[in-house]
Chains A and B, each alone.
Chain A
Amino acid sequence: MQLTILDRIDRPAEDVVALTLRGAHGPLAPWEPGAHVDLALPNWLTRQYSLCGDPRDRERYRIAVRHERLSRGGSDYIHRYLRPGRTLEVSLPRNTFPLVPAPSYLFLAGGIGITAILPMLRAAADAGASCSLVYAGHTYASMPFAGELRAAYGDRVTVVATGHDGRPDLAALAAGLAPETVVYCCGPTSLLDACEAVFPAERLHVERFRPRPRTFAPDTAFDVVCARSGRTVPVPAGESLLNALTHAGLPVPAGCREGVCGSCEVTVLEGEPEHRDDVGAAPGRMYACVSRSRSARLVLDL
């Protein structure tokens, strides 16, 4: 964890605050566009937010947070109770949405999903790549950074207020997509699903805040062997691997608990995991919050 001080709270749009976090002990860990951090709140909750500031500024991180109507305690706390000057612990940046080098990019952002896209667009433009952004939200007033994006990138940025203009025409964008262009999309499930329907999968990169609605085969029970302690923990159907480990007294740090943030990654030494996450686990890794096992036994490096 890194200790930061909350320097400023800005309101870049309706129901959105931007937090500027300064390293309490000098420079903060470096990051690449697309990265997110876990923010530990004073109410003991941890939430994940994309870094939306400038990676060249090693002194501060910037995040932006929308006040969710049915907040489970993260965004509501940030909006109502955080005050400048508070120290806050922030994890090392984690990047499950890296920007791959390409000559041309199409960025698509929905609402607060702009936070992940913002540093990507800047990096792509600075690298001299051809790039464009379609940024959709309900109303202009609810869309953070729209004005500054248009000021900086001119007609490379299209802002679409869906309540006024209707939804962006993704099919037309897909039809006109140059063969060398890669597509990055971050936003609500509806936008991601619509993108997945029209853009070629091998050129589409998405980041989700909420898991993709999917159905899985019924849970099966399995045993987990923790290689370091030698302990075997049974994981019954209906209980997550993460909870089974916690209840056995072997807690794994966790964030979203929905398979989107990547904080509960564990290393698999033996056995065949059944991946149910939306991060995309690297070989030999799995996310304990949602993923299970195809084999009767999994050996983990725990």
Chain B
Amino acid sequence: MTRQNAPLIERRPRRVSIEQVRDRLGEPDAMIKSKIQDHIDEHSRRFIAHSPFLTMATADASGRADCSPRGDYPGFVKVLGEHLLAIPDRPGNRIADSFRNLAENDGIGLLFFVPGSRETLRVNGRAYATDEPDVLVRMQTEAREPELAIAVEVEEVYFHCGRALIRSRLWDPASQALADELPSLGEVAAAQFGMDIDPRLLEARLEEGYRQLY
């Protein structure tokens, strides 16, 4: 085994209990706890209306978890009421992991991002698939409606502090140079599928696919 590929640690990292975690971190102060709201207020609504991107966490009945990205124009997630929002299901990889999970376990965790904003918005609740026409019609883009949407009954809403985004320099334009160090999607796909195909050809096909967004 080359030095580069050797594991950093021979055994599994040791586990600490929640009590030990609490001992180390201390209790959250009352102000932090009180910022958790049970509804979408005007500020959260404005945040969602300007957010073009979110991550969506779901899990199946056994607890197998999954997190997927969703993105479109700012405000693509529609706030339908103080306790209700809807996320359009745009064409993706058709794996439908999230829908399968929600059918078994309706818990959902959303993290909304607004480019340039250090704070993020967390929204947790219960979700299900819907094809309600009045919901889908509001999601029309390029004269097309999504086939389905995810309705979320909101239970918790709160702004998450900006430290993670500040430390990660997520919105710093200079950070985008990091992507230059990554393999292209064509290279990744060619290696993972074991395909004997020119990665550049594969890349061109994938880029073509990316133009078909709706």
Which residues of A line the B interface, CB within 8 A?
42-45, 70-73, 76-77, 80-81, 240, 243, 246-249, 257-258, 289
B75-A73 in contact (CB<8A): yes
> B33 at interface (Cβ–Cβ under 8 A)?
no
A44-B139 in contact (CB<8A): no
> B171 at interface (Cβ–Cβ under 8 A)?
no
Known: A249-B211, A257-B143; 14 extra A-B contacts, CB below 8 A, are A44-B73, A44-B74, A70-B134, A70-B138, A73-B75, A73-B76, A73-B138, A77-B49, A80-B45, A81-B46, A240-B143, A246-B211, A247-B208, A289-B143
A43-B75 in contact (CB<8A): yes
B50-A257 in contact (CB<8A): no
Residue of B nearest to A239 (CB): B212
B138-A71 in contact (CB<8A): yes
Which residues of B line the A interface, CB within 8 A?
45-46, 49-50, 52, 73-76, 134, 137-143, 208, 211-212
Q: Nearest Cβ in chain A — how far from B136, in angstroms?
A: 10
Alpha-carbon gap, A202 to B58, bound state (A): 60
**Residue numbers in A under 8 Å from B76 (CB-CB):** 73
A243-B138 in contact (CB<8A): no
B138-A77 in contact (CB<8A): no
A72-B137 in contact (CB<8A): yes
Residue of B nearest to A80 (CB): B49
Q: Nearest Cβ in chain A — how far from B74, in angstroms?
A: 4
Alpha-carbon gap, A44 to B72, bound state (A): 10
**Residue numbers in B under 8 Å from A257 (CB-CB):** 142-143
| Cβ-neighbour of A43 out of B73, B137, B208 (below 8 A) | B73
A73-B73 in contact (CB<8A): yes
**Residue numbers in A under 8 Å from B139 (CB-CB):** 72
**Residue numbers in B under 8 Å from A44 (CB-CB):** 52, 73-74
Residue of B nearest to A290 (CB): B143
- Given the known interface contacts A44-B74, A247-B211, the answer about A258 and B138 at a Cβ–Cβ threshold of 8 Å is no
Alpha-carbon gap, A246 to B208, bound state (A): 11
A45-B73 in contact (CB<8A): yes
Alpha-carbon gap, A45 to B19, bound state (A): 50
B138-A72 in contact (CB<8A): yes
| Cβ-neighbour of A243 out of B46, B49, B50, B142 (below 8 A) | B142
Q: Which residue, of A73, A80, A81, A246, has the highest number of chain B Cβ atoms within 10 A?
A: A73
Alpha-carbon gap, A289 to B143, bound state (A): 9
Residue of A nearest to B46 (CB): A81
B73-A72 in contact (CB<8A): no
B49-A72 in contact (CB<8A): no
**Residue numbers in A under 8 Å from B45 (CB-CB):** 80
Q: Nearest Cβ in chain A — how far from B140, in angstroms?
A: 5
Alpha-carbon gap, A77 to B46, bound state (A): 10
Alpha-carbon gap, A243 to B139, bound state (A): 18
Q: Which residue, of B76, B139, B143, has the highest number of chain A Cβ atoms within 10 A?
A: B143
Alpha-carbon gap, A246 to B137, bound state (A): 23
**Residue numbers in B under 8 Å from A248 (CB-CB):** 211
Residue of A nearest to B134 (CB): A70
Q: Nearest Cβ in chain B — how far from A118, in angstroms?
A: 29
Closest CB pairs A-B (n = 4): A257-B143, A43-B74, A247-B211, A44-B73
Q: Nearest Cβ in chain A — how far from B84, in angstroms?
A: 15
Alpha-carbon gap, A124 to B52, bound state (A): 45
**Residue numbers in A under 8 Å from B46 (CB-CB):** 80-81
**Residue numbers in A under 8 Å from B75 (CB-CB):** 43, 73, 76-77
